[in-house]
Amino acid sequence: MLEIISFVFVFLVGLIVGSFVNVCIYRIPRKISIIKPRSRCPACQSPIKALDNIPLISFVILGGKCRNCGAKISWRYPLVELANGFLYVLAFNLILHGRDNWGIFVVALYLSTVFLIIFFIDLDFRIIPDSLTISGIIIGLAVSFLPCMHLRWLDSFVGFFIGGALFLTIAEVGDRIFKKESMGGGDIKLAAMMGAFLGWKNILLVLVIASFLGVVFGVVLILSAKDKISARTIPFGPYLVIAGLIAFYWGEQIIRYYLEFISR
C-alpha cells in the first residue's frame, strides 16, 4: 500500500512540474520570463485563474477550452503533464527497487524535465536553447564529483568532450556533403551535455539509437507527408532526447548484452 501511495505522490509531483514544463516550452524560445507574468490564454490573453490551472483536472473540467473566450486548449498541455508524471515515476522506480541512490534519482528528475522541454522546443522551433544545454553541461560535470554518482568525473569529462567533438565532426562532414547545415549547434551542445551526464560509452550508444530513430521515423514522415520539403527538415533533437533517456536507464544493460553477443 505504501508503495502505491509513493508512486501516486511522485506522479502528482510530476504533473505539477509538468505544468511548469509547459510554461518553459512556450516562453523560453520567445524570450519571456518563466517566472512572471501569470499564465495567460494564448487566444484572448486573459490571466488563467489558479483553479483553472490545475494539471489535467482543469483541462477535463473546462472541456479543453478557455473559460473566458471558449478557445480550444491544445492537447499538448495535458500530454506534457502526463509525460512528465510518468517520467518521474520511472525515475522513482530506480529507488524503490534499490537499483540506485537518491542522488541518481534527483539527476533523473532533472534530466526528465529538461529533456522534455528540449524535445518540444526543438520540435516546434527547430532550436535548442543554450540556457538549457550549457547549464546542463555545467551541472553534469559538477555532479560527477559527488560520491553518490556512478559516473566518475573523468568519465564525465571524456563523455562531454567526445559528445561535443563527435557531433561537431558529423556536422562538419554533413555540411560538406549536403552543401547546407546538416546539424545545428544546439544538437552538438545537447550531445556534449548528455556526454557529461552519461559518459563516453553511453554517448556513443545515444548516437546509434538516435540515428536509427531518425532514419526510421524520418522515412515514415517523408513518405506520409504531403509537403516533402518540410518533412525533410525534421529536427534531430527529439531523437537525441529519446536516445538519451534510453541510455540513462538501460544503457549499461544494452552495452553489456551487445558485448556478450559479439563475443560469442
- pLDDT, residue 232, reads 55
Per residue in 174-206, pLDDT tens? 778 877 766 778 999 999 999 999 999 999 999
Distance CA 171, CA 181 (A): 7
DSSP reduced 3-state for 65: strand
- List CB contacts of 207: < 8 A, sequence separation 6 or more: 166, 167, 191, 243
- pLDDT, residue 103, reads 85
- pLDDT, residue 176, reads 81
Which of 42, 49, 47 lies closest to 72 in space, CA to CA? 42
Per residue in 21-54, pLDDT tens? 999 999 999 999 998 888 888 778 888 888 878 8
- pLDDT, residue 99, reads 59
Give domain limits for the chain: 1-99, 101-264
- Report the first-to-last Cα separation within the chain, whole angstroms: 44
Distance CA 258, CA 19 (A): 39
User: How much is the average pLDDT of 157-167?
Assistant: 94
- Bigger pLDDT: 2 or 81? 81
Distance CA 250, CA 149 (A): 16
Amino acid at 196: A
Distance CA 40, CA 60 (A): 18
Average pLDDT, the chain: 89
Q: What is the pTM assigned to this prediction?
A: 0.92
Angle at 239 between CA 238 and CA 242, to 5 degrees: 90
Residues 115, 104: contact at Cβ < 8 Å? no
Query: Rounded to 10 degrees, what is the CA torsion of 127, 129, 132, 137?
Result: 90
Residues 213, 205: contact at Cβ < 8 Å? no
- pLDDT, residue 227, reads 55
DSSP conformation class of 146: S
Per residue in 226-245, pLDDT tens? 655 555 567 899 999 999 99
